[in-house]
Amino acid sequence: MNNKVEICGVNTSKLPVLTNKEKQALFVRINAGDLSAREELANGNLRLVLSVIQRFTGRGENIDDLFQVGCVGLIKAIDNFDTTLNVQFSTYAVPMIIGEIRRYLRDNNPIRVSRSVRDLAYKALQAKEKLTRQNAKEPTIEEIAKEIEMPKEDIVMSLEAIQDPMSLQEPVYSEGSESIYIMDQVRDPKNTDEKWAENITISEAMKKLSSREKSIISKRFFDGRTQMEVAEEIGISQAQVSRLEKSAISRIKKLYK
C-alpha cells in the first residue's frame, strides 16, 4: 500500500471492524429502509476494500481512485446481498469489488475497444456472476451464451478484447539473475530468427557448439520452437535451455565480431 495510511481522506489505521452479529443487525435495519445503517455497514467494511485493492497495486494506477472504485463495488454488494442465503457477506462482496475494479481498469485501458464489443463483454460478465451465484460454480461459455442468447464465438471474442495487454518482456520465471520472459514461450514459425542466422553464417558457427547447444539453437531458431517445447524434447528444464541458448548465442557473436 506504499506505506500510505490515509486514502481518500480516510485514516485506514482507524477503520472499524464489524462482527458478524453486528453486520446481521445492520442488514435488518437496511431492509427496513434505514439509510444510516447502510452507511454504517459500508464504513465497517472498508478494510475489505483495502485488502482487495492490494491485488491491483503496481499497475501505475492511483491508489485513491482504486479505493473509490472499490467502494462502489462494496455499495453494490450491500444493495444486492441476499440475507436469506447461508453465505457470509465478505464472500459475496469480494467478487463484486474485484469486478468493479476490473471494469474500471478496462474502461481506462489505452487500447480502445468498440462500445458494442465492450457492452457484450460486460453483459457476459454479469451473466457469469449471476450463474455463479445460482449454481455455486463458474459457468461454461456455452451456459453464458444460452443465458444472454448470443453466439459463444462472439462472447469469447468480446472477453478477449477487454483483457489487459501484457508485455512480451514480462518475466514468468526467475532464478537468481536468470529470467524467462513471455516472448521465450511464444511460438511463431513464420517469424523466427533465420534471417539473423543466415547473416552471420550460422552453419559455420554451429560447428563450434556442443551437440546439445546445436540441438537447442536449431530447434529454437530454425524450427521456431519455444524454450518449454525444447526443454520437454531434450529432457532438461526450461531454465537450463535458456542458459544454454544464451551461452551459445554469446559464443557465436564473439566469433563474428
Res 142 pLDDT > 80: yes
**∠205-208-209 over CA atoms, to 5°?**
100
Residue 5 banded pLDDT, cuts 50, 70, 90: low
Q: Kindly report, residue by residue over 173-229, the tens digit of the pLDDT.
A: 555 556 565 555 555 554 444 444 444 455 666 777 888 888 888 888 777 778 888
Q: Which pTM was predicted?
A: 0.44
Q: How far is CA 152 from CA 124, 138, 147, 156, in A?
A: 10, 16, 11, 6
Q: Say how far apart CA 109 and CA 56 lie, in whole Å.
A: 14
When comparing pLDDT for 58 and 164, which is higher? 58
Cβ atoms < 10 Å from Cβ of 246 = 11
**How many other CB atoms are there within 10 angstroms of residue 195's CB atom?**
8
The mean per-residue pLDDT over the stretch 111-140 comes to 81
Q: Which of 174, 15, 98 is nearest to 7 (CA)?
A: 15
Number of Cβ atoms within 10 Å of the Cβ of 108: 10
Q: Which of 98, 62, 54 is nearest to 77 (CA)?
A: 98
Instruction: Report the DSSP beta bridge partners of residue 7.
Output: 10
Q: Return the DSSP state at 136.
A: S
